[in-house]
Amino acid sequence: MNELYSPSADNGTPDLDALCASIKRVAEKIQVITEATKNLNQNRVQLEGKIEDAQKRIQHILSRLPEQSDGRQLNLLGETIPPTTPEDDSEPTTH
């Protein structure tokens, strides 16, 4: 037990300087951990926001999908594509 508690030879009290140094080191480590935790929480909030935005974009794209019975060409970018008719697929003739 003498290894853990080493009283000073002068008055039988523990070495207060060593104890204060240990407390200071622990306090510094707690401060570093607190800052790291704060930063991680901020990053988590930012990532949750990005995920929510991405989910909204995906939902918007999915809402634009045609019904399964719709045979038109799928256009997710919003560009206007004229519908194709069977006559348009034939080669032009020159007379």
Residues counted in the chain? 95
β-bridge mates for residue 14, sequence order: 7
Q: Which token pair is 18?
A: 């060593």
Share of the chain above pLDDT 70, in %: 56
Tell me the two tokens of residue 41. 């929480």
C-alpha triplet 46, 49, 55: angle, nearest 5°: 145
What pLDDT is stored for residue 3 in this prediction? Answer: 47
CB 41 within 8 A of CB 32: no
**What are the tens digits of pLDDT across the range 27-72?**
999 999 999 999 999 999 999 999 999 999 999 998 888 776 666 6
Question: Global pTM?
Answer: 0.48
The tokens for 61 are 């794209």
